[in-house]
């Protein structure tokens, strides 16, 4: 399972889990349009999945990683910045030692735990 497949499976599983999370895929960098111009996307380091936790309205930032994909300094800075602003910001890594379904379930549980921790923060 590649990162994109893991990301898509995680978004679907989160919807099915009904834990109040809405996420969308966020592209970063620049792309060349068919007219030869450049379109800027999210900044380098931006999380792969971005969304909201209901009913609180908290921003959720999720960086998706494959088993050997390294975290860049820009990605770590992005998550730290959003966490400092009050968002839930985490990195979820696909574990190839378990089934894809088990890896996705672990990702859902990581997000569920982060939301729980935020709700019960003193």
pLDDT digits (tens, 9 = 90+) for 102-113: 999 999 999 999
Domain that includes residue 101, residue range: 3-119
The CATH number of the domain where 12 resides is what?
Answer: 3.40.1350.10
Q: Give the total number of structural domains in the chain.
A: 1
Structure tokens at 104: 């996705």
Helix (H) or strand (E) holding 110: helix 100-119
Model pTM score: 0.89
pLDDT digits (tens, 9 = 90+) for 28-53: 889 999 999 999 999 999 999 999 99
Structure tokens at 101: 């379904």
Average pLDDT, the chain: 94
């Amino acid at each position: 399972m590649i990162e994109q497949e893991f990301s898509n499976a995680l978004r679907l599983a989160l919807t099915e889990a009904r834990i109040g999370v809405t996420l969308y895929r966020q592209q970063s960098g620049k792309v060349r349009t068919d007219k030869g111009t450049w379109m800027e996307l999210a900044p380098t380091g931006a999380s792969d999945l971005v969304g909201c936790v209901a009913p609180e309205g908290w921003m959720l930032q999720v960086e998706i990683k494959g088993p050997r994909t390294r975290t860049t300094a820009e990605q770590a800075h992005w998550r730290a910045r959003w966490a400092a602003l009050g968002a839930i910001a985490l990195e979820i890594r696909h574990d190839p030692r378990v089934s894809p379904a088990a890896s996705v379930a672990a990702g859902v549980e990581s997000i569920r735990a982060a939301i729980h921790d935020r709700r019960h923060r003193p």
